[in-house]
Amino acid sequence: MNKRSNGEGSIFPYKDGWAGYVWVTTPEGKRTRKWAYGKTREETHEKWLKLHEQARKGPVATKHETVAAFLMRWLAEVVEPNREPTTYVAYEPLVRLYIIPGLGKKRLDKLTVRDVQAWLNTLPALCTCCDQKKDHKRPEAKRRCCAIGKCCEGYPARYTIIGIRRTLRAALGHAIREELISKNVAALTTLPSVSKTKKKRQQIVWSVDEARRFLEYVQDDPLYAAYVLILVLGLRRGEVLGLAWDCVDLDGEELHIARQLTRVGGQLLHRDKTKTDDSTASLPLLGLCVSALKGRRELQDQACDVAGAVWKDSDLVFTTRYGTPIEPRNLNRAFDSHCKNAGVPRIRVHDTRHTCASLLAALDVHPRVAMRILRHSQISVTMNVYTQIPSPETRKALDRLNARLANNDQDFEQER
Q: Would 67-188 and 208-415 be classified into the same CATH topology?
A: no
How many Å apart are CA 142 and CA 137, to the nearest integer? 10
Backbone angles phi, psi at 257, to 5 degrees: -100, 115
Model pLDDT, residue 415: 45
How many Å apart are CA 353 and CA 361, to the nearest integer? 14
Model pLDDT, residue 392: 60
Backbone angles phi, psi at 319, to 5 degrees: -135, 170
How many Å apart are CA 100 and CA 91, to the nearest integer? 12
Question: Spelled out in words, what is the top-level CATH class assigned to the domain 208-415?
Answer: mainly alpha
This prediction has a pTM of 0.64
How many Å apart are CA 371 and CA 365, to the nearest integer? 10
Distances (CA, A) of 281 to 48, 349, 373: 57, 20, 9
Element (DSSP H or E) covering residue 412: helix 392-415
**Other C-beta atoms within 10 Å of 416: how many?**
7
Q: Classify domain 67-188 at the CATH superfamily level.
A: Tyrosine recombinase, N-terminal domain (1.10.150.130)
pLDDT in tens, the chain (416 residues): 455 545 455 788 888 899 988 888 877 778 888 888 889 988 888 888 888 887 887 777 667 789 999 999 999 999 999 988 888 889 999 999 999 999 999 999 899 999 999 999 999 988 888 888 888 888 888 888 888 888 888 888 888 999 999 999 999 999 999 878 889 999 999 998 865 545 555 557 788 888 888 998 998 999 999 999 998 888 888 889 999 999 999 988 888 887 888 887 677 777 766 554 544 567 888 888 898 999 999 999 999 999 999 999 888 999 999 999 999 999 999 999 999 999 999 988 888 877 777 777 776 777 777 777 776 667 666 666 555 545 565 556 556 656 654 555 444 344 44
Q: Are 105 and 92 in contact (CB under 8 A)?
A: no
Model pLDDT, residue 4: 54
| Domain ranges for the chain | 10-57, 67-188, 208-415
Query: Among the residues of 244-386, which ranges form H helices?
Result: 287-307, 328-342, 356-362, 367-374, 379-385
Count of CA atoms in the C-beta half-sphere (13 A) of 147? 13
How many Å apart are CA 49 and CA 217, to the nearest integer? 76
Sign of the dihedral defined by the CA atoms of residues 363, 364, 369, 371, in that order: positive
Model pLDDT, residue 280: 57
Q: Are 398 and 212 in contact (CB under 8 A)?
A: yes
Strands 31-38 and 17-25: antiparallel
Three-class SS state of 18:
strand
- Percent helix, strand and coil across the chain, each to the nearest 5: 55, 10, 35
Instruction: For the chain, give the longest Cα–Cα distance.
Output: 104
Model pLDDT, residue 302: 93
What's 322's DSSP letter? T
How many Å apart are CA 170 and CA 164, to the nearest integer? 10
